[in-house]
Structure 1
Amino acid sequence: MEMDDVLIVGSGIAALQLATFLSHDKNVRILTKSHLKNANSYLAQGGIAAAIGIHDDTKKHLADTLEAGRFHNNEEAVREILNEAPALIGDLYEIFDKDQQGHLLLGLEGAHSENRIVHSGGDATGKNVIDYLIRKLTNNIKVEENVFAYELIIDSKQKRCIGVKAKDPDGTIRYFYGDYVILATGGCGQVYPFTSSAPTVTGDGIAMAYLAGAEMADMEFIQFHPTLLYKDGETKGLISEAVRGEGAILVTEDETPIMEGIHPLKDLAPRHIVSQTIVDYIKNGHEVFLDIRSIKNFKKRFPSITAICEKNGVHLSDGKIPVVPGSHFLMGGIKTDLIGRTSINGLFAIGEASCTGLHGANRLASNSLLEGLYQGKKLSQWIHSNSNKDPISVLPKAYSFIPEKKVLLPDVQTLKDMMMKRVGIVRSKELLEEQKNWLEQFHLHDVTELDSYSIQEITAIFMYVTASLITEAAISRTESRGGHFRRDCPFEDDQNWKKKVIIQKCKGEVAIKHEYIKTALVN
């Protein structure tokens, strides 16, 4: 039995920010299913958004965030996080790119009205931030790699989460306990065939929380990034939106600009609009490229993207990069407040695994790393100012269980293909109900015991559970908004749909309710 003050599952920016801000007298343990750096945060290219430019202010950043989120955001959460953004940037000031006078360089990305994106190493922001935070880890923080957490431990008497059950690569079951249990496991990009997500991002924390009875929110809102490098029928990595911010445009094979007349911001329109436009061209038999010929010193400005292209045989001298949209970010997740408290006492969720309401129906570019930094810092402050009055008192559990009949699932690739076909960028009632019926035949909500499954089998179960949550929420929302587009109801319906879709497992059944959000147009 392992006992800690703070137990963190995951190793992205939110997890590491939390760990580094906790006082040194706290025993902190970080569990990660792979290596410490194998997370989406490490892959993040674009940067972090903050209203720190001379002509910028938080009200403008707020307006852009609400517009991109199609006013489905929790406006209180948006204001709080964006107001903190300059200070959070200040905490990391030394690692960001600056001009010769020492001023931060500010880039422009889609749906932003001002240059407000700080970056590090050109397009290696996530890597540099994670490396910086890892260097700050102290001796009170123990990191355990290659440990797969798969079940929350709930104390039925205290009615709170007190730990997690996990497996080592050889299948050994281990129990970890903590006064505070934090899920920072990221989103669920791998549920789709084309994705910018790391291979480890399979919805683990989301599925664990759901199976334990936590409320889930906004699971229908998946952001598909418009520009993943596409070569030989596969996606090879992300081409940051900052490339379009520097002047690149989307064109077909005959160099027809595809965003002309689609949106006033053209190639810098919100991501769901750009992604839907690209899909329309691809369905009509076209190839789509990023034309980068207008960008001077491309290799210097985007060294990571240059390396990805060269590694995959894309010659930048041609001036065009082949792209397709792919799953990039989950706006929904485990329903939390600003600091990460869930509907289960003792359980917290931060980063992409959580849903604070910041992103609404579609995330504004470069607001995600910002949210992770905010939640990590604020949760550390809350932990310092609060203490559990009911200390954990548990005995080590022996490895014993009664095996149930194992659920048999098709291979994960089949799930990915079905999700893209039926619950992808363009959806409809018919396709969504087909997917729901297909998923229901596996009776995933009836799974009560995971001990006898292998890590690979549990991962597949989690992916199927997460896919089911996305599908259920997408059926429930009978309108189009942000990252959720239904061709059978293609317009926003503010009169009937100013509400969130909340899904919860209750007494073995799937409960769906609607919760009205409090937001307003920008003052």
Structure 2
Amino acid sequence: MFTNDIIIIGSGIAALQTAIESSKVKNVRIITKSKLRDSNSYLAQGGVAAAFSDKDSPALHGKDTVDAGRYYNDLAAVNSLVEKGPDAIRQLIEDGMCFDKDESGNISLGMEGAHSVRRILHFNGDATGKGIINHLLNKLSSSNVNISECETAIELLVNKSGHCVGVMTVNENGQYMHYFARHVVLATGGCGALYEYSSNSQNATGDGIALAIRAGAVVRDMEFIQFHPTLLFSHGRASGLISEAVRGEGAILVNACGMKIMEGQHVLKDLAPRHVVSQTIFSHLEIGDRVYLDISMIKDFEVRFPSIATYCKDSGIDLTKGKIPVAPGSHFLMGGISTDTKGRTSIPGLYAVGEVSCSGLHGANRLASNSLLEGLVYGKELGHYLSSLNDSLQTIDLDFVDSREDLSLHLPNESEIKKMMMRYVGIVRDEKGLRTIKDWLERYDLSSLLYIRLQGLSPEQCKVVLMLINAWIITEAALLRTESRGGHFRSDFPFENDYKWRNRTISFTKNHLISTKKGTALYEQAEAKTNAGSFFY
């Protein structure tokens, strides 16, 4: 007996938008590992992109998206986003969302890297994610939605027919819970916190991706990780995002001598695509040259960017000097669980939406401020799809598979994984470094980690197991893609190889590595083969 129609794991914009739309007709349970507002979406500063002015168009937004993605994007996914994006923004405004306006009372549109026109909407300067999350929470219907906070999903429950029927969680007190539903949605975000330097919430270690691959789902494009160029660098560590909107308002990257480091690097200079800016900053840091964001030309910086100003002051940065020390850090995952534009994965009953998913939308590098739009558009699409399904016609067996082994584990600590990932699978990669971390990862019996029982492990052990799985997949994918494209830069293969790699993906299941032509509907293949009794063997 199902106690829920739909379970949504996560509480960011994609999760809440899916819940709002699907709860109109179905019972929904939201499960989040921390509090509702503890998500990457809530931390998002830069804004949300949409073709919202008469100088812009969905076609132009789509072109910028594909240019930033290094022509690796799925065009159907891109077109879906840019065509539906303006309506998604208008709906927010009609529902009472207040975006920033100019002196004439018109919505202000900002500029960010790799955009050809101003199209970025903001809330309260640099608190856009916070504003949208609070708006969506106010819209969430309490009558059809139950919320479980501080519960961590540690296992997807898959029945003997290969259908996802629920999730196992563990709460703060170490109690295990089983929740069952006809549909399970992963909206757990990305894996930025796998790295030592990251703009992400510390909860963003890729749980959903590792859970999905353990359950048998297809995961793809994990080598493509975007490193945000400008994290605040203070007291020997990089943390706290300095939004790209700051450069959009005229800030310039300089070294300790005041030299403009982006001169001659790209035609867009300081507003070049993020991988170009990140790699340029990294090259200076590697030789001991500090890099700063010169904000001296921005009038009333503390008014325009109040959250950033507060964070800088709290970190001991004197803004009157007009320079903020910066360094790159992991920011966004372009890869994830393979889905179509409806959010369907290769496992019947399992869906993914937002950063945890990979429809091919972002290609090899996400265009700035497309992520919040993705959550709004695709969350609504998935919610509408789920609410339209006639579940009364479907009979699903609840006899789920639970034959995993109990093993004694030798595991590294969380900080070791983060340091190794930053050093060897970070902004600049090569075969020697990737093989070094691969050898290190393989000390921990990775093949067993895909099958062991997590119930009975401590929450920290569960977290480390899932982190190791994600680290391994990213490393393997980075080794296999022998070119540089977007968020994946190989110093030993520094150029794009369109002939070999532009139209091929690197995908994984727990049993097999798949290399396939880009655009192949893996979720359909997998569903068919699962139903036939085999799965990419």
Structures share a fold, TM > 0.5? yes
Distance 1:441 1:499, change over 3 A: farther
Paired with 1:156 and 1:375, the residues of 2 have a C-alpha distance of 30
Aligned partner of 1:194 in structure 2 is 197
Aligned partner of 2:37 in structure 1 is 37
Q: Deviations over 1:482-507 (max 9, x none)?
A: 0000011110010111234343335x
**Alpha-carbon shift at residue 87 of structure 1 (Å):** 0.3
Paired with 2:22 and 2:351, the residues of 1 have a C-alpha distance of 15
Which of 485, 492, 501 in structure 1 is aligned with 2:489? 485
Q: Deviations over 1:167-196 (max 9, x none)?
A: 111211110111110000000011100000
Checking the alignment, whether the CA contact within 8 Å between 1:95 and 1:129 is kept in structure 2 is no
> Which one-letter code corresponds to 1:263 in the other structure?
H
Aligned partner of 1:353 in structure 2 is 356
Checking the alignment, whether the CA contact within 8 Å between 2:42 and 2:130 is kept in structure 1 is yes
Checking the alignment, whether the CA contact within 8 Å between 1:476 and 1:501 is kept in structure 2 is no
**Alpha-carbon shift at residue 47 of structure 1 (Å):** 0.5
Superposition pairs for residues 291-310 of structure 1, below 5 Å? 291-310=294-313
Checking the alignment, whether the CA contact within 8 Å between 1:213 and 1:504 is kept in structure 2 is no
Aligned partner of 2:255 in structure 1 is 252
Superposition pairs for residues 276-291 of structure 1, below 5 Å? 276-291=279-294
Secondary structure in 2 aligned to 1:235? Answer: strand
Aligned partner of 1:176 in structure 2 is 179
Determine if the alignment matches structure 1 residue 427 to structure 2 residue 457: no
Identity fraction in percent: 50
Q: Deviations over 1:368-400 (max 9, x none)?
A: 010111111001111122223323453899xx9
**Alpha-carbon shift at residue 80 of structure 1 (Å):** 1.1
Q: Deviations over 1:233-260 (max 9, x none)?
A: 1223000000000000000111111000
Checking the alignment, whether the CA contact within 8 Å between 1:502 and 1:515 is kept in structure 2 is no
Choose 387-396 or 96-105, whichever is displaced more: 387-396
Aligned partner of 1:371 in structure 2 is 374
Distance 1:401 1:512, change over 3 A: closer
Paired with 1:146 and 1:86, the residues of 2 have a C-alpha distance of 34
Checking the alignment, whether the CA contact within 8 Å between 1:11 and 1:39 is kept in structure 2 is yes
Aligned partner of 2:141 in structure 1 is 138
Distance 1:2 1:169, change over 3 A: farther
Checking the alignment, whether the CA contact within 8 Å between 1:9 and 1:182 is kept in structure 2 is yes
Checking the alignment, whether the CA contact within 8 Å between 2:25 and 2:387 is kept in structure 1 is no
**Alpha-carbon shift at residue 515 of structure 1 (Å):** 2.6
Checking the alignment, whether the CA contact within 8 Å between 2:160 and 2:399 is kept in structure 1 is no
Distance 1:423 1:395, change over 3 A: closer
Determine if the alignment matches structure 1 residue 124 to structure 2 residue 127: yes
Secondary structure in 2 aligned to 1:162? Answer: strand
**Alpha-carbon shift at residue 401 of structure 1 (Å):** 8.3
Superposition pairs for residues 329-478 of structure 1, below 5 Å? 329-388=332-391, 389-392=393-396, 394=398, 404-447=406-449, 448=451, 449-478=453-482
Paired with 1:209 and 1:236, the residues of 2 have a C-alpha distance of 29
Superposition pairs for residues 85-96 of structure 1, below 5 Å? 85-93=85-93, 94-96=97-99
Checking the alignment, whether the CA contact within 8 Å between 1:88 and 1:374 is kept in structure 2 is yes
Q: Deviations over 1:465-490 (max 9, x none)?
A: 00111001111101000000001111
Checking the alignment, whether the CA contact within 8 Å between 2:165 and 2:400 is kept in structure 1 is no
**Alpha-carbon shift at residue 99 of structure 1 (Å):** 2.4
**Alpha-carbon shift at residue 48 of structure 1 (Å):** 0.6
Choose 439-448 or 176-185, whichever is displaced more: 439-448
Checking the alignment, whether the CA contact within 8 Å between 1:215 and 1:343 is kept in structure 2 is yes
> Which one-letter code corresponds to 2:52 in the other structure?
I
Q: Deviations over 1:28-62 (max 9, x none)?
A: 10000001100000000011111112211112111
- Runs of 4+ with >4 A deviation: 400-403
Paired with 1:454 and 1:503, the residues of 2 have a C-alpha distance of 30
> Which one-letter code corresponds to 1:153 in the other structure?
L
Q: TM (normalized to structure 2)?
A: 0.93
**Alpha-carbon shift at residue 2 of structure 1 (Å):** 7.1
Secondary structure in 1 aligned to 2:76? Answer: helix
Paired with 1:243 and 1:492, the residues of 2 have a C-alpha distance of 30
> Which one-letter code corresponds to 2:439 in the other structure?
N
Which of 213, 230, 234 in structure 1 is aligned with 2:216? 213
Checking the alignment, whether the CA contact within 8 Å between 1:469 and 1:503 is kept in structure 2 is no
Determine if the alignment matches structure 1 residue 83 to structure 2 residue 83: yes
Q: Deviations over 1:383-441 (max 9, x none)?
A: 122223323453899xx988622221111111111111111111111111221121122
Aligned partner of 1:153 in structure 2 is 157
Paired with 2:187 and 2:435, the residues of 1 have a C-alpha distance of 31
Checking the alignment, whether the CA contact within 8 Å between 1:215 and 1:502 is kept in structure 2 is no
Determine if the alignment matches structure 1 residue 501 to structure 2 residue 502: no
Aligned partner of 1:18 in structure 2 is 18
Q: Deviations over 1:73-104 (max 9, x none)?
A: 00111011100110011111232111244321
Distance 1:403 1:69, change over 3 A: closer
Secondary structure in 2 aligned to 1:326? Answer: strand
Paired with 2:416 and 2:423, the residues of 1 have a C-alpha distance of 11
What are the ranges of 5 or more consecutive residues in structure 1 without an aligned counterpart?
A: 519-523
Aligned partner of 1:521 in structure 2 is none
**Alpha-carbon shift at residue 10 of structure 1 (Å):** 0.3
Aligned partner of 2:53 in structure 1 is 53
> Which one-letter code corresponds to 1:183 in the other structure?
L
Checking the alignment, whether the CA contact within 8 Å between 1:207 and 1:465 is kept in structure 2 is yes
